[in-house]
C-alpha cells in the first residue's frame, strides 16, 4: 500500500528516485506500528517518498540504486540518546578495581584538562564508526567534547546524524557529586580547568551549537546541553530551558545517576529534585534527562505529567556496581505513558556503543528486578530505540519511523545470520537473539553509508589502527595509563 502522493498521482511513467529497498520485512514504527512483510521503501534524496508492499511500490518507481533485503527486517535507524563520543579515545582504560572516587584524580581530570581537538576527533570517529556498524544512525552528544567541531567533522566523514551540545555547561562545578562525594562526605573542589566557573561564563558558552540548525536540511544539528548532576544553578537551568524552548530543541542533562549525586540535589533543594525542577518550570516534553536512576514515586509522576524524556543507560551505572539501572522506575515510566530512550553513555561505563545491547540489558535487568516478563518486551525496546530516541533528541518530525516525508535513516539486516533463523517471530529474534549481529546495510539521510558490512567511502581498518595509535600517544602525553584488573583470588571468599 502506498501511503500517499507523490507516487499515486495517476501518472503511468515510473518516478525516478535515488534508492529503493525491496523485499523487506518493514517494521515501520509508525503510529499504527505497521509491519509490511514483503515491503519496499522508496527514497529520493534524503527523504522517504513511498512505503508499501513491494509489488505496489516497485511498480511505480525506477531507482538508480536498489537494495534487495531478501526478506530481512528493515527498521528505522536507532538513536543513541546519551553518550560521550570523544571519551572513546580511552575506552577500556579504567580497571575494574579503581575506586569510583579515584577516577577523577587518577585519570579523568588529566584527560578532561588535557585532551586536544585531534584526540577528540579520533575518539569520536571511533564511536561513530562503531555506532553505524551496530545500526545506530543518530546520536545526542551530552555536551562533553571541548571541541564540538571535531565531533561534527567525524560525523560528517562517516555520514552519521549528530545532535551536538556546547561543552560542559555548568556554573557550580564544585557541586559535582558523582564519585567525588558521598552524602556524608564534604564537597571537594573541582579540578577541571576548562569548565565554566560562573553563570556569566556558562551563558557565554551556551547556544553556539544551535546555530547549526539554521540549515533545515543539516545532518549535524545542535541542542542545549547542560552537564547536570547538581552543577547548574536554578537560574542557569531556567536560561537553558528558555533557550531550548525558543530554538525548538531539547534541553539535555544528566540527572540522578548515582545515589550520591541524587542525595546532594535533594539536600540542596530540600525536596525531591525533579518535583522541585517541575515546580520551577524546568521540565517539559523538550527536556531529556540522562540516566534518572534514582527517582521517587512523586518524581516518576512528574516525569510522566511533564512529558520529559528519560535517556536510560541500562548498562552505565550497573557497570560501576551502582543501583538504579534496573531497580529504578524506567519501566514504570514507560508503562505509565512516559517516554524512554536508550543510551550507552561512554567507553568506560557501558564500553560499547550498541543500542541493541542496551535494549537487551534493559529487558533482562528489568524482568529480573520486577519478576515480571511483561515489564519490558521486544516491541517496547524497539520503540524506545527508534521513536523514543527521536523524541529525546528533539527530532520526532524527521526521524524515528519509516514514513513518507521523513528522512531516510534505515537499518537493513540480513537473514544470512543464524540468530535470525528460523523465521518464527522477526521482532523477538531480532531483539532477543540477533541484535546488531545481523546489521548488513545502513542508510542515513538517504545515503547508503554501510553496504553489505562495508564502508565504501573510507579505509576503516587504516582509520582504526590510526585511532589506536592516537590513543596510546595521548595517554603517554597526559601521563595516564591503563592497567589490568588487580589479581583476584578465586575460591577463598565466603559466599
What minimum distance in Å lies between the beta carbon of 84 and Zn ion? 6
In the region spanning residues 142 to 171, those forming contacts with Zn ion, defined by CB under 5 A, are 142
Interface of this chain with Zn ion, residues 397 to 436, rule: CB under 5 A: none
- Extract the C-alpha cell encoding 129: 564508526
| Shortest distance in whole angstroms from residue 447 CB to Zn ion | 29
Cβ–Cβ < 8 Å for 75, 27: yes
Shortest approach of Zn ion to residue 6 CB, angstroms?
Answer: 42
- Of 142 and 237, the one with the shorter C-beta distance to Zn ion is 142
Distance CA 114, CA 119 (A): 10
How many residues does this entry show for the chain?
A: 495
Q: What is the DSSP string of 138-153?
A: EEEE-S--S-HHHHHH
* Locus of grid cell 524546568: 282
Question: What cell was used for 70?
Answer: 531478501
> Least separation, in Å, of the C-beta of 467 and Zn ion?
21
The SS3 of residue 130 is: helix
- Please say which residue, 23 or 254, places its beta carbon nearer to Zn ion: 254
For residues 263 and 345, which CB has a smaller minimum distance to Zn ion in the complex?
345
**Judged by CB, which is closer to Zn ion: 143, or 446?**
143
Residue window 339-378: x/- pattern of binding to Zn ion, with contact defined by CB under 5 A: ------x---------------------------------
Closer residue to Zn ion in complex, CB, 108/142: 142
Chain CA centroid to CA 285, Å: 17
The nearer residue to Zn ion, 299 or 345, going by C-beta atoms, is 345
Check if the beta carbon of residue 411 is closer than 8 Å to that of residue 25.
no
Name the minimum Å distance from CB 41 to Zn ion. Answer: 34
Q: Which of 14, 20, 58 is nearest to 410 (CA)?
A: 20
Report d(CA 141, CA 155) in Å as an integer. Answer: 11
Closest separation between CB of residue 313 and Zn ion, Å? 7
Burial string for 179-210 (b: 16+ CB within 10 Å, else e) reads: bbbeeeeeeeebebeebbeebeebbebbbebb
Rounded least distance, CB 162 to Zn ion, Å: 16
Do residues 36 and 53 lie in contact, with contact meaning Cβ atoms separated by under 8 Å?
A: yes
Residue 281 buriedness (CB in 10 A; 0-12 / 13-18 / 19+): middle
Number of residues that bind Zn ion (CB under 5 A): 2
**Among the residue ranges 29-37, 50-58, 140-148, 364-372, the one whose residues contact Zn ion (CB under 5 A):** 140-148
The cell for 276 is 522541585
Task: In angstroms, give the least distance from the CB of 250 to Zn ion.
Answer: 15
Of 312 and 356, the one with the shorter C-beta distance to Zn ion is 312
Smallest distance from Zn ion to CB 254, Å: 5
What is d(CA 290, CA 252) in angstroms, rounded to the nearest whole number? 7
Q: Which is nearer to Zn ion, 76 or 328 (CB)?
A: 328
User: At its nearest, how many Å lie between Zn ion and the CB of residue 88?
Assistant: 13
Contacts of the segment 91-96: beta carbons below 8 A, 24+ positions apart: 91/126, 91/347, 91/348, 91/351, 92/347, 92/348, 92/351, 92/482, 93/348, 93/475, 93/480, 93/481, 93/482, 94/348, 94/482, 95/482, 95/483, 95/484, 95/485, 95/486, 96/485
Q: Which is nearer to Zn ion, 18 or 293 (CB)?
A: 293
Nearer to Zn ion, 135 or 228 (CB): 228
Binding segment for Zn ion among 63-71, 136-144, 418-426, 453-461 (CB under 5 A)?
Answer: 136-144
List binders of Zn ion among 219-248 (CB under 5 A). none
Query: Per-residue x/- marks for Zn ion, 94-133, CB under 5 A?
Result: ----------------------------------------
| Interacting residue ranges for Zn ion, rule: CB under 5 A | 142, 345
Amino acid at each position: 500500500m502506498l501511503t500517499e502522493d507523490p507516487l499515486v498521482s495517476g501518472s503511468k511513467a515510473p518516478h525516478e528516485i535515488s534508492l529503493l529497498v525491496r523485499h523487506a520485512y518493514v517494521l515501520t514504527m509508525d503510529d499504527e506500528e505497521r509491519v509490511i512483510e514483503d515491503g519496499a521503501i522508496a527514497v529520493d534524496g534524503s527523504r522517504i517518498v513511498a512505503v508499501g508492499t513491494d509489488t505496489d511500490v516497485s511498480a511505480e518507481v525506477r531507482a538508480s540504486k536498489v537494495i534487495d533485503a531478501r526478506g530481512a527486517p528493515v527498521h528505522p535507524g536507532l538513536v543513541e540518546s546519551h553518550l560521550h563520543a570523544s571519551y572513546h579515545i580511552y575506552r577500556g582504560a579504567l580497571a575494574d578495581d579503581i575506586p569510583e572516587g579515584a577516577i577523577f584524580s587518577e585519570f579523568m581530570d588529566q584527560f578532561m584538562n588535557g585532551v586536544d581537538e585531534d584526540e577528540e576527533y579520533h575518539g569520536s570517529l571511533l564511536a561513530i564508526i562503531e555506532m553505524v556498524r551496530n545500526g545506530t544512525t543518530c546520536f545526542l552528544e551530552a555536551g562533553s567534547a571541548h571541541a564540538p567541531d571535531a565531533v561534527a567533522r567525524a560525523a560528517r566523514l562517516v555520514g552519521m546524524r549528530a545532535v551536538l551540545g556546547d561543552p560542559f555547561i555548568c556554573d557550580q562545578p564544585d557541586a559535582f557529586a558523582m564519585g567525588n562525594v558521598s552524602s556524608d562526605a564534604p564537597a571537594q573542589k573541582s579540578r577541571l580547568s576548562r569548565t565554566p566557573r560562573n553563570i556569566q561564563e556558562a551563558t557565554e558558552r551556551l547556544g553556539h551549537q544551535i546555530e547549526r540548525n539554521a540549515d533545515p536540511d543539516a545532518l549535524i544539528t545542535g541542542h542545549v546541553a547542560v552537564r547536570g548532576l547538581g552543577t547548574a544553578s536554578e537560574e542557569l537551568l531556567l536560561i537553558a530551558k528558555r533557550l531550548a524552548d525558543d530554538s525548538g530543541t531539547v534541553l539535555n542533562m544528566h540527572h540522578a545517576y548515582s545515589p550520591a549525586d541524587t542525595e546532594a540535589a535533594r539536600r540542596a533543594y530540600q525536596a525531591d529534585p525533579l518535583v522541585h525542577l517541575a515546580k520551577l518550570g524546568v521540565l517539559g516534553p523538550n527536556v531529556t534527562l540522562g540516566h534518572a536512576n534514582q527517582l521517587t514515586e512523586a518524581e516518576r509522576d512528574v516525569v510522566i505529567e511533564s512529558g520529559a524524556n528519560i535517556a536510560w543507560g541500562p548498562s552505565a551505572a550497573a557497570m560501576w556496581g551502582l543501583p538504579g539501572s534496573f531497580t529504578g522506575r524506567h519501566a514504570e515510566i514507560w508503562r505509565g505513558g512516559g517516554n524512554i530512550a536508550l543510551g550507552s553513555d561512554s567507553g568506560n561505563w557501558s564500553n560499547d556503543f550498541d543500542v541493541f545491547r542496551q535494549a537487551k540489558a534493559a529487558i533482562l535487568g528489568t524482568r529480573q528486578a520486577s519478576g515480571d516478563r511483561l515489564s519490558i518486551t521486544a516491541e517496547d525496546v524497539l520503540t524506545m530505540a527508534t521513536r523514543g530516541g527521536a523524541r529525546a533528541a528533539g527530532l520526532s518530525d524527521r526521524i524515528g519511523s519509516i514514513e513518507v516525508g521523513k528522512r531516510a535513516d534505515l537499518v537493513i539486516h540480513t537473514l544470512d545470520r543464524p540468530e535470525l533463523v528460523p523465521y518464527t517471530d522477526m521482532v523477538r529474534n531480532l531483539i532477543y537473539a540477533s541484535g546488531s549481529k545481523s546489521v548488513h546495510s545502513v542508510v542515513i539521510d538517504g545515503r547508503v553509508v554501510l553496504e553489505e558490512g562495508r564502508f565504501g567511502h573510507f579505509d576503516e581498518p587504516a582509520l582504526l589502527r590510526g585511532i589506536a595509535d592516537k590513543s596510546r600517544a595521548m595517554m603517554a602525553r597526559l601521563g595516564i595509563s591503563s592497567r589490568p584488573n588487580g589479581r583476584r583470588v578465586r575460591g577463598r571468599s565466603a559466599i
